[in-house]
Amino acid sequence: MPTPTKKTATARPQRASRPDGAATRQHLLDTAGRLFAERGFADATSKEICERAGTPMASVNYHFGSREGLYEAALIEAHRQVVGLDELAALAAGLSDPREQLRAVLCRFVGLSSTAGAPWGFMLMLREVLSPSTAIPALIEKAVRPKAALLLKIIGDVLGLNPATPVVQRALMFSVLPCIAMMIAPKQMLGELLPAVARDRDALAEDFVRFVLAGLDAIALAHRSGAQSKN
């Protein structure tokens, strides 16, 4: 009778490695961001987003909870693309003079207004500015407020005032809103109407910084005079 031979273990076929979750999430976010920028939130369906991304239909809910959650994440990423908190902090970190810190930040903002081939975040933020969505509160808390706190600190230091002072908040609005207007203004229109501005962005940045700093000096003087008159 033949001796039973020991069976060798049959090698199991190796499973294909699962895609990296973070990479899949980022790919889905980029795909959705482009589609939201093209169509807006209402016209960009989860189905089309997943088809473009090449991911299963459940991907949106798995990674973001819902299409609304995906749109919120896309808005926060869009704000980061325009200018990130880390980038702003890095611009200010190497400078001890708050006026120079503000100069560096404002020059960066003005430079963004002439960026060619801007990422989808610019268009998505423009859509959101023109037609605010229900994601605005989350955008403010998660993306805008931290950057505003940094800028309020810089402007407060320039003025020698507490960042929570109303005049510092107004000064931030006066300093930043023109930059936003330059970012969203059509480049062709600016070139046709103000060709000298379009030709020399460095001069535009320098003059804008002078304009803002002179305004802040005037605000600081008026604030000191008002405070002295009350004493």
Residue 197 lies in a domain: yes
Per the structure, the count of domains in the chain is 2
Give the DSSP letter of residue 186.
Answer: -
Residues 207, 162: Cα–Cα separation, whole Å: 27
On whether both 65 and 87 belong to a single domain, the answer is no
The residue among 38, 64, 79 that closes a domain is: 79
Judge contact between 172 and 163, C-beta under 8 A: no
Classify 43 as helix, strand or coil. Answer: coil
Specify whether 108 is located in the same domain as 145.
yes
Q: How far is 202 from 107, CA to CA, in rounded Å?
A: 8
Same domain, 96 and 115: yes
- Co-location of 97 and 208 in the same domain: yes
Q: Tell whether 221 is covered by a domain.
A: yes
pLDDT tens digits, 60-110: 999 999 999 999 999 999 999 888 999 999 999 989 999 999 999 999 999
Cα–Cα nearest to 135, from 36, 2, 35, 31: 36
- CA-based nearest residue to 135, from 151, 124, 147, 149: 124
72, containing H or E segment: helix 67-82
Closest by CA to 71, choosing from 84, 58, 60, 80, is 60
What's the whole-number average pLDDT of the chain?
87
Distance CA 84, CA 79 (A): 7
Q: Are 121 and 82 in contact (CB under 8 A)?
A: yes
pLDDT band at 117 (very low <50, low <70, confident <90, very high): low
User: Which pLDDT value is given to residue 118?
Assistant: 62
From residue 21, give the alpha-carbon distance in Å to each of 59, 174, 204. Answer: 10, 42, 44
- Contact between 164 and 100 (Cβ < 8 Å): no
CB 117 within 8 A of CB 134: no
Q: Is the confidence at residue 3, as pLDDT, over 60?
A: no
93 and 61 in a common domain: no
- Could you tell me if residue 177 is inside a domain? yes
pLDDT of residue 228: 67
Residue 70 near residue 64, CB atoms below 8 Å:
yes
At 21, phi and psi to the nearest 5?
-60, -40
Residue 7 falls within a domain, yes or no?
Answer: no
Residue 129 has pLDDT above 90, yes or no: no
Q: Which of 79, 102, 127 is the last residue of a domain?
A: 79
- Per-residue model confidence as pLDDT tens digits over 154-206: 999 999 999 999 999 999 999 999 988 888 777 777 778 888 887 888 999 99
Does one domain contain both 163 and 66?
Answer: no
- Are 73 and 170 contained in the same domain? no
Q: Given the structure tokens 């005037």, which residue do they identify?
A: 218
For the domain that residue 93 is a member of, what is the CATH number? 1.10.357
pLDDT score for 130: 86
pLDDT digits (tens, 9 = 90+) for 7-41: 444 444 333 334 468 899 999 999 999 999 999 99
Domain boundary among 60, 79, 98: 79
Judge if 68 and 164 occupy the same domain.
no
Write out the residue range of the structural domain in which residue 151 sits. 83-230
- Per-residue pLDDT, averaged over 111-115, amounts to 77
Structure tokens at 230: 């009350």
